[in-house]
Amino acid sequence: MGVPAVVAALQGRKAIVAKLGMDAHWRGAIVVANALRDAGMDVVYLGHTLAADLVAAVEQEDPVLVGLSTLSGNHLAECDQVMTAFRAAGLDDVVVVAGGTIPPRDQVELVALGVDQVFGVGSPLAHIVEQVSALVTARQHLRVPAEAPEPHSARSVVLDYL
Amino acid sequence: MTQEMTTASGVPLPPVAGPDHVAPDLAARLGEPGGFPFTRGIRPTMYRERPWTIRQLAGFGTAQDTNVRYRMLLDGGSTGINGVFDYPSLRAFDSDEPRAGTDVGRGGVAVDVRDDFDALFKAIPLDEVSVSLVSSQPIGAVAHLAMFVRSAERQGFDRRRLAGTSQNDFLMETAITIAPEALPPAGSFRLACDLADFALRELPRWNPVSVSGYNYREAGADATLEMALCLAHGQAVARELVRRGHRPEAALSRISFFLCAHNDFFEEVAKYRALRRMWARWVRDELGVTDPRAQLFRYHVQTSGVTNAARHAHVNIARSALQGLAAVCGGTQSLHLNGYDEAVCIPSEHAAMTALRTQYVLLHETGVAKVADPLGGSHLVEYLTDSLEERAASVVRVVDGLGGIVAATEQGWVHSELAGTAYADQMAIETGESLVVGVNTHLEGDDEEMALFELPGGTLERQTAQLEAVRSRRSSAAAAAALDAVASACRSDANTMPSVLAAVDADVTLGELGRVFRDELGRWEFPLW
C-alpha cells in the first residue's frame, strides 16, 4: 500500500461523489474525494442527491466516474433507484462505484444491480484508486469524445443542482 | 529506542517518563477527587459512591420495535436509556418524505408524532429511569423533547420528574453530520439554546445540551481538536444562557458533554482529566462561579466506532473493552460500549448483549472502579494531561479569534480542520505508519461469519400507516394554526419551545415542524468541499 499519487488514466478526468438517501456520515466520502483529487481527478462533491438529480448532474458534467457513499444501511434500495434511473437515461458509459458500511453479501447484490464495484469498510485508498482507474480505462471505448470542458470551480457546479 | 514517537494526536512521547516531565506545582493542578479543579474526578470516592451509568445505545425500526430492545437492555442490566433516532427523524423530515423512505428505521428509530413517543417508552418508569435522547440536531431535538414531555405527561408523569439529556448540538447539524437543507449555524444554535432555556425553567432534571465531542472525533478530530471544540461550544452555550437571564450556576450545572474513547489509552485518560480541569478553571475565572456543583465537567463516553474493523469483527470486543477501560480510568459518569458488528451493521441482539456484559466485566472484575483516578500521579499521564491542556487551550484561542464557535463554523474553519485530520489519519494507515489489525496488518485467516442485524420487515409501511392515521384524525385547522404560531415565534425573539409544545398537542408532525424551521431560519450549504 502507498499514498495515492497522480494516475495517468485518471488525470484531468471528472468524478462525481454523492451521498445516498439521508445518511449523515461525510468522512468516508470526503476522504475518498480527496484521494481521487490527489490522483489527478476533477472531483465534484454533490452531497445528498436524489436519483433524478444525479442523472441531471451526470448529463451535464459527463463524468467518467460516479462514487456513491452511504453508511446508514440504505444501500440496496438507494443504489437500485440510482441504477434504474441511469439505465432509463441511457447512462451506460459512466463507471459507478459504491462505498461505505456495506456487508459482503450486499456487495454481491449491488453488483447484480449494475454497480461496477463496491468498496466496503477498510478498503485502502490506493486500492480504490487502482480499481477505478482500471474500470475507467476499460469503459473508455463507450465514451463519445467530448470537447474540452470549460474550466470552472467545483463549487459553482455544485450550486447548479442544489 | 531512539525513534521519535508521539501519541495518536501528535504529543511527543519520551522513551520513559519521569519526574522531569511533570511541571512543578502538580498538587495544585490535581486537587483532590471531588475538589477544585477536579482533575481527579467529580466526586470524592467516584465509583464507590455511584458506578457509572451503563447506557447502551439502541434504536431501529418503529417505536414498538425499539421499545422491545430498550426493555431487553434494562432487563439485562442497563441503568439508563440511550435512544438514537433514524436520519429523517434527526433532521425533522417525516417518514413519508420522498428522500426519507430508504432510511426510515435504519440507524435509529423512526418517530413522526407524539404517539410514537407513547409507544417508544411504553411500560418504562420515566420517573426512575433516565433517558438520553440522542436528538443530535437542534431542528429535531426541539420537536423530540416537546413530544417526549407531552407524551410522558399524558401517561401521568410530572415533567419536573423527567430525568435525562437531549444531545441538541448545533455542530452536529452544521458540521459533523450532513443532511439536505441544514439550518445555518446561527439558527441552529438559537434553537439549541431555546431548548436549553426551556429546560432550565421547566425540567429541573434535564440536561438540555450534550456537547458531542464524540462525534467531532468520529468525523476526523484528534484528541486536541475534540477537546477544543467541546470547550468552545460549551462556553458559547453557557454565555448565551447567561445572556438570556439565567444565573451562571443554574446554566452551568445543566450543560453536559459526550466524549469519545479512542485507542491511545494514556492520551484518552489524560484527555478526560485535562478537560475537567480546564472547564472548572474557565467557570471560576471567566464567570466567577465558585459553587463546586457548577464547576463540574460531567460527561458520557462512547467507544470509538471508526476504530472498529469489519474484518475479524470479534476483535472489536477487545477494542471496545480497552477503550472503555480508558473511559473508566478517566472518570466518566456514563458509558456505552460499541457492539462488535458496528463496522458492518447496527448491533445485533448478540452484539448488544456482549457489549452490555463487557461493561460489567469492567465494573465487577477489573478492580479499576474501586479507587478514584487510579492513574493520577503517573509521570506519563500527568505529562500528557498538561500537554493536552496546553494544546487544546491554544486551539480554543484560535476559535475565539475567529469570533467564537458559531462564527468559526460559518466560516468553514471547523469543516476544514475535521476533513484535514480525517485525511491525515487515513494516510497514516495507507503508509503503514498506523497499524490496524484486520485493516493493514494481521489480515490472514478466513473472515468470520456473523449473524447480521436485520431491519424488522415492513418498517416503512408500518411507520407511514401510523403517521397517516394521525394526520387523518387531527383537526387540520388546529394543526395549521399551531404551525403559524411556531413560525411567528421563529420570527420573534421569543423562545420557540412553548409554540412547539402546543403544536405537538395539535398532532403536528416532526416534518411539518422541520419545514417551518427551515423556512423561517434558513437553509445552509455547508462548506465541506
| Buried/exposed code over A107-131 (b: 16+ C-beta within 10 A; e: otherwise) | bebbeebebbbbbbbbbbbbebbeb
Distance CA A110, CA A80 (A): 8
- Residue-wise pLDDT tens digits, B133-163: 999 999 999 999 999 999 999 999 999 999 9
Closest CA to B510 of B520, B500, B521, B519: B500
Q: How far is CA A128 from CA A47, A134, B253, in A?
A: 20, 10, 48
Cβ contact, residue pair A101, B180, below 8 Å: no
Q: What pLDDT is recorded for position A67?
A: 98
Which range, of A64-68, B19-23, B178-182, averages the lowest pLDDT? B178-182
Contact A69, A17 (CB under 8 A): yes
Q: What pLDDT is recorded for position B453?
A: 84
First and final CA of chain A: distance in angstroms? 37
Distance CA B276, CA B37 (A): 7
Residue in the structure block whose three cell numbers are 418498517: B459
Average pLDDT over chain B reads 95
Query: Which positions in chain A have a beta carbon within 8 angstroms of at least one beta carbon in chain B?
Result: 1-4, 19-27, 30-31, 33-35, 43, 45, 47-48, 50, 72-74, 77-78, 81, 101-105, 120-122, 124-126, 154-155, 158-159, 162
Cβ contact, residue pair B419, A34, below 8 Å: yes
Assigned CATH topology for domain B37-430: TIM Barrel (3.20.20)
Closest in B178, B427, B440 to A47, CB measured: B178
Q: What is the mean pLDDT of residues A40-60?
A: 95
Closest CA to B525 of B447, B427, B410: B410
Q: How far is CA B307 from CA A100, B435, B438, B450, B451, in A?
A: 15, 11, 11, 19, 21
**Chain B residues with CB-CB distance to A73 below 8 A:** 103, 106-107, 345-346, 455
- Residue-wise pLDDT tens digits, B333-354: 999 999 999 888 888 889 999 9
Burial class of B496 by CB neighbour count within 10 A (0 to 12, 13 to 18, 19+)? buried
Cβ contact, residue pair B90, A24, below 8 Å: yes
Contact A81, A113 (CB under 8 A): no
Residue in the structure block whose three cell numbers are 438529480: A53
Which range, of A21-25, A37-41, B477-481, averages the lowest pLDDT? A21-25
Sign of CA dihedral A78, A79, A82, A84: negative
Distance CA A42, CA A140 (A): 17
Cβ contact, residue pair B178, A26, below 8 Å: yes
Q: What are A69's three cell numbers?
A: 457513499
Q: How far is CA B303 from CA B190, B255, B313, B341, B408, in A?
A: 30, 21, 15, 13, 27
**Res. A148: pLDDT tops 70:** no
Q: What are B121's three cell numbers?
A: 417508552
Q: What pLDDT is recorded for position B207?
A: 96
**Chain B residues with CB-CB distance to A124 below 8 A:** 429-430, 440
Contact B236, B404 (CB under 8 A): yes
Q: What pLDDT is recorded for position A154?
A: 43
Closest CA to B258 of B292, B303, B218, B299: B299
- Residue-wise pLDDT tens digits, B292-310: 999 999 999 999 999 999 9
pLDDT-derived band at A5 (thresholds 50, 70, 90) equals: confident
- Residue-wise pLDDT tens digits, B383-423: 999 999 999 999 999 999 999 999 999 999 999 999 999 99
**Res. B236: pLDDT tops 80:** yes
Q: What pLDDT is recorded for position A160?
A: 36
Q: Which residue on chain A is closest to B416 by alpha carbon?
A: A30
**Chain B residues with CB-CB distance to A31 below 8 A:** 419, 422-423, 426
In chain B, the largest separation of any two C-alpha atoms, in whole Å, equals 76
Distance CA B411, CA B399 (A): 11
**Chain A residues with CB-CB distance to B218 below 8 A:** 27
- Break chain B into its structural domains and give their ranges: 37-430, 466-521
Q: What pLDDT is recorded for position A149?
A: 52
Q: What are phi and psi of B104, to 5 degrees?
A: -65, 120
How many H helices and E strands in chain B? Answer: 20, 12
pLDDT-derived band at A18 (thresholds 50, 70, 90) equals: very high
Q: Which helix (H) or strand (E) holds B276?
A: helix B265-287
Three-state SS across A57-99?
Answer: HHHHHCCCEEEEEECCCCHHHHHHHHHHHHHHCCCCCCEEEEE
Cβ contact, residue pair B100, A22, below 8 Å: yes
- Residue-wise pLDDT tens digits, B209-223: 999 999 999 999 999
Q: What is the mean pLDDT of residues B476-496?
A: 98
**Chain A residues with CB-CB distance to B311 below 8 A:** 122
Q: What are B444's three cell numbers?
A: 490472514
| Beta bridge pairs of residue B283 | none
What is residue A117's DSSP assignment? Answer: E
- Residue-wise pLDDT tens digits, B47-105: 999 999 998 889 999 999 999 999 999 998 888 899 999 999 999 999 999 899 999 99
Q: Which residue on chain B is closest to A23 by alpha carbon?
A: B87
Cβ contact, residue pair B219, A3, below 8 Å: no
Which range, of A141-155, B175-189, B277-291, averages the lowest pLDDT? A141-155
pLDDT-derived band at A158 (thresholds 50, 70, 90) equals: very low
**Chain B residues with CB-CB distance to A25 below 8 A:** 177-178, 219
Three-state SS across B439-505?
Answer: CCECCCCCCCCCCCCCCCCCHHHHHHHHHHHHHHHCCHHHHHHHHHHHHHHHHCCCCCHHHHHHHHH
Q: Which residue on chain B is closest to A31 by alpha carbon?
A: B423
**Chain A residues with CB-CB distance to B178 below 8 A:** 19, 24-26, 47-48
Cα of A61 to nearest chain B Cα, Å: 17
**Res. A153: pLDDT tops 60:** no
Q: What pLDDT is recorded for position B178?
A: 84
What is residue B161's DSSP assignment? Answer: G
**Res. B44: pLDDT tops 80:** yes
- Break chain A into its structural domains and give their ranges: 14-139
Cα of A2 to nearest chain B Cα, Å: 5
Distance CA B524, CA A97 (A): 28
pLDDT-derived band at A89 (thresholds 50, 70, 90) equals: very high
Q: Give the Cα-Cα-Cα angle B339, B341, B342 (nearest 5 degrees).
A: 75
Q: What pLDDT is recorded for position B3?
A: 80
- What is the amino acid identity at position A24? A
Suggest the residue from B430, B434, B454, B528 to mutate for an interface test with chain A (most A CBs closer than 10 A). Answer: B430
- Residue-wise pLDDT tens digits, B110-134: 999 999 999 999 999 999 999 999 9
Q: What pLDDT is recorded for position B267?
A: 98
Cα of A50 to nearest chain B Cα, Å: 7
**Chain A residues with CB-CB distance to B447 below 8 A:** 104
CATH 3.40.50.12780 at A14-139, yes or no: no
Tell me what percent of the residues of chain B surpass a pLDDT of 90: 91
pLDDT-derived band at A162 (thresholds 50, 70, 90) equals: very low
Distance CA A115, CA B375 (A): 51
Cα of A25 to nearest chain B Cα, Å: 6
pLDDT-derived band at B445 (thresholds 50, 70, 90) equals: confident
Q: Which residue on chain A is closest to B89 by alpha carbon?
A: A22
Q: Which residue has the higher pLDDT, A145 or A11?
A: A11
